[in-house]
Amino acid sequence: MRACLYHLRKCDPKLIILIAIAVGIYALETIVPKPLPWLRVGFSNAIVLTTLMLYGWKDALIVTVARTLLGNTVTGTILTPAPVIGLAGGIASLFLMTIAYGTHLFSPVGVSIVGALTHNLVQLLVVSVILGYFGVHMLVPIFILLSIVTGAITGVLAYYLYEFLRPKTETLDLNDRPD
């Protein structure tokens, strides 16, 4: 525990802000009325994808874990199966988003759709294991359709957030300097 706290003190303040934003969005999504009780757009996943694009998978993993644990603490669901289900989906999603992003074949929207599909399907698998009932797989077509829609929405958000937050550094060409 001491090592964890030590490393948190060295954590980049920008990462702490991204975690706070992700937890806030997660909590807000909990109180927003939903057409289906388990449906959530997953706007906080846009923060995870933005973190992946800005800082890499390690920092995105920190945001994923912190968002899930702190978000469930804030919403009062920390002692339910929700954190386990969320962590399984979030970590699997981040793993495949990292691969998709690294191939440079996908836009942020495509990477987000891969993440949403993975997140939802892994969560469905974990729920079926917890319940010991695999009939919930009848929901797979619905989950795929919803994942494409929600993944596209969060991908667009992540793209614009990335463009806004991306450091605007000028490159210095040493061959162009005056003599």
The tens digit of pLDDT for each residue in 82-96 reads 999 999 999 999 999
The band of 37, judged by pLDDT with boundaries at 50, 70 and 90, is low
Domain that holds residue 141: 11-166
Count up the domains in the chain and report the number. Answer: 1
pTM score: 0.85
In a domain, 6, yes or no: no
pLDDT over threshold 50, residue 169: no
The answer to whether residue 106 is domain-embedded is yes
Please report whether residue 94 resides in a domain: yes
Q: Does 1 fall in a domain?
A: no
How long is the chain?
Answer: 179
Q: What is the mean pLDDT of residues 166-173?
A: 50
Residue 172 belongs to a domain: no
Residues contacting residue 72 through CB under 8 Å, at least 6 positions apart: 78, 80, 82, 83, 86
For residue 152, give the CATH number of its domain: 1.10.1760.20
Average pLDDT over residues 139-153: 93
